[in-house]
Amino acid sequence: MSPVSSHGQQILARRDFMFDAATGMSGLALAALLAQDGRLRADESKSPVRPVVRPEAPLAPRASQFTPKASRVVMIFCSGACSHLETFDYKPELVKRNGQPMPGAEKLVTFQGENGNLVAPQFDFKPRGESGKMISELLPNLAELADEMCFIHSMTAKSNTHGPAENQMSTGFTLDGFPSIGAWVSYALGSDASDLPAFVAIPDPRGVPQAASNNWNSAFLPAVFQGTPFNADKPIANLSRPAGVSASTEVATRDFLKRLNERHLIAHPGDTDLAARIASYELAAKLQLRAVEVSDLTGESLETQTLYGLHDTNKTKAGFGRNCLLARRLLERGVRFVQLFNGAYAMGEGVGNWDGHKTLKDQYSVHGPILDQPAAALLRDLKRTGLLEDTLVVWVTEFGRMPTFQKGASGRDHNPKGFTAWMAGAGVKKAFSYGATDDFGHMAVDKVTSIYDLHATILHLLGLDHERLSFYHNGIERRLTDVHGHVLHDVLA
């Protein structure tokens, strides 16, 4: 036994020290011998995968890690936290107990203060399609497509604040400075479009979401993978040809510049920064022609324009309709990831998005029609053109809302403990519901799902392993899902 000091602490005896050292050295020797014989290897099936990005063609298509179900993604993001209780998550008990205190939650204080009693959904629900899925009257056109949708009713978020929660839904992290999911996807897979960005973000006609460009940034990934923001009414800035310069002159100038760049690159072989710079300039030049063409919706049939509501008297709805049609045109031209925003941040008002604190029914009566027809048209159009077979449509919002009204208001406070997302298209089950919130829609209780799980599932459908897709940054193997997340295999077709 080791001796004890005058303070009653055990001292490591010389004999014990020599024994520990000897056993430690023998352990090191054994590890070295096993490694030499090839018997001590890391599990290569979980080793990081960093896509090989050619500097001269950073957006060239790259193979997925395994056979994908989806080739491209469109994410419809309703910013402001669209209430699951007014849309897709029907709670009969909430109707039954309307006006009563929520059991076990008397005087509950949430984001903006104390909550009042339970309040029934502000819009009626009814069964839809052959599945009989209960969906609100707020979204009648989307409700008609219930049999195409795969609902996740047990979503949870890490923040009850819009900016950080938007960050998490788009990047996996509540903090600023992390790449968005669209940037990760274009880093992994490149693009099937040689003259358009791999990743396009389409802000709402009314403006940008609260986290703004954080939703589509590339952070520490190469800047070429950042989302390019533009919408149908506001094309990419500074792409117009200068007055007085003819189209033929511009083409000749670009061709001459390309020859000069190629000679310069030959004179500096192996200069990856130079190659990347030239590739970036060439994409910008191509965009001058292609972005104008893809944003010109006048060639679409009157039937298609009517489907999307392009001639609606509600200018905001017509504007969102143009954005949805733009999304389809980008997808069919090979853009890998389109992030389509519905709702814009309006400080102190909440009128530009789904942030229904004060007068939820009045606000949603405005927002519902703006989202409903155009978003449903996009889904219908993708289906009728065959694009839905290998396109994944994802509908998200940053968190849900409370089953109670706020004290002194006619609206619901923030609720990250339970909300709904849905997917449709490539690789997911149709007319399927996964997970559940409690009887009041307050908390996810069955198959509780995180944003990490949702991201892992999206990557999986694209043929990517979320545990392996990696980028080495500041001494850390970074990934979209950090050290979390599981693929939701139950929702896969």
Half-sphere exposure of 252 (CA within 13 A, CB side): 5
Structural domain of residue 264, as residue ranges?
Answer: 236-296
Write down the residue that tokens 């008397």 correspond to: 106
User: Within this chain, do residues 292 and 209 fall inside the same structural domain, yes or no?
Assistant: no
User: Within this chain, do residues 117 and 228 fall inside the same structural domain, yes or no?
Assistant: yes
Final residue in a domain of this structure, among 245, 279, 296: 296
Q: Would you state the pLDDT for residue 452?
A: 98
Does residue 183 have a pLDDT over 70? yes
Mean pLDDT of 79-99: 97
More confident residue, 223 or 120: 120
Q: Would you state the pLDDT for residue 265?
A: 72
User: Within this chain, do residues 374 and 414 fall inside the same structural domain, yes or no?
Assistant: yes
Mean pLDDT of 111-139: 96
Judge whether 421 lies within some domain: yes
User: Within this chain, do residues 314 and 439 fall inside the same structural domain, yes or no?
Assistant: yes
Q: Predicted confidence band at 147 (pLDDT cuts at 50, 70, 90)?
A: very high
Mean pLDDT of 166-170: 98
Q: Would you state the pLDDT for residue 266?
A: 80
Judge whether 47 lies within some domain: no
**Percentage of residues of the chain with pLDDT beyond 90:** 72
Kindly report the CA angle at 245 between 243 and 246, in degrees rounded to 5?
Answer: 120
Does residue 159 have a pLDDT over 60? yes
- What is the distance in angstroms between the CA of the first residue and the CA of the last residue of the chain? 63
Separation between Cα atoms, residue 74 and residue 200, nearest integer Å: 10
User: Within this chain, do residues 363 and 387 fall inside the same structural domain, yes or no?
Assistant: yes
Judge whether 51 lies within some domain: no
Does residue 107 have a pLDDT over 60? yes
User: Within this chain, do residues 21 and 146 fall inside the same structural domain, yes or no?
Assistant: no
Q: Predicted confidence band at 275 (pLDDT cuts at 50, 70, 90)?
A: low
More confident residue, 261 or 330: 330
More confident residue, 305 or 245: 305
Give me the chain's average pLDDT, please. 89
Does residue 172 have a pLDDT over 90? yes
Q: Predicted confidence band at 249 (pLDDT cuts at 50, 70, 90)?
A: confident
Q: Are 480 and 454 in contact (CB under 8 A)?
A: no
Q: Which of 179, 143, 175 is nearest to 158 (CA)?
A: 175
User: Within this chain, do residues 154 and 193 fall inside the same structural domain, yes or no?
Assistant: yes
What pLDDT digit, counting tens, does each position of 281-300 carry?
Answer: 667 666 666 777 898 999 99
Judge whether 424 lies within some domain: yes
User: Within this chain, do residues 137 and 188 fall inside the same structural domain, yes or no?
Assistant: yes
CA distances from 344 to 204, 209, 320, 328 (A): 6, 5, 12, 21
Residue 207 bridge partners (DSSP):
204
CATH of residue 349 = 3.40.720.10
Does residue 148 have a pLDDT over 70? yes
Does residue 21 have a pLDDT over 80? no
Q: Are 455 and 481 in contact (CB under 8 A)?
A: yes
Judge whether 49 lies within some domain: no
Mean pLDDT of 389-403: 98
Q: Are 153 and 492 in contact (CB under 8 A)?
A: no
Judge whether 442 lies within some domain: yes
Q: Would you state the pLDDT for residue 285?
A: 66
Mean pLDDT of 383-402: 98
Total number of domains constituting the chain: 3
What pLDDT digit, counting tens, does each position of 331-346 carry?
Answer: 999 999 999 999 998 7
Q: Which of 398, 408, 337, 354 is nearest to 116 (CA)?
A: 408
Write down the residue that tokens 């022609």 correspond to: 289
Judge whether 52 lies within some domain: no
Write down the residue that tokens 């219930």 correspond to: 146
Does residue 80 have a pLDDT over 70? yes
User: Within this chain, do residues 380 and 452 fall inside the same structural domain, yes or no?
Assistant: yes
- Which residues neighbour 156 within 8 Å (Cβ) at sequence distance 6 or greater? 416, 417, 418, 419, 444, 448, 449, 450, 451
User: Within this chain, do residues 177 and 307 fall inside the same structural domain, yes or no?
Assistant: yes
Separation between Cα atoms, residue 83 and residue 123, nearest integer Å: 11
Q: Would you state the pLDDT for residue 40?
A: 52
Q: Predicted confidence band at 351 (pLDDT cuts at 50, 70, 90)?
A: low
User: Within this chain, do residues 282 and 411 fall inside the same structural domain, yes or no?
Assistant: no
Judge whether 121 lies within some domain: yes
User: Within this chain, do residues 348 and 468 fall inside the same structural domain, yes or no?
Assistant: yes
Does residue 273 have a pLDDT over 60? yes
Write down the residue that tokens 């107990």 correspond to: 97
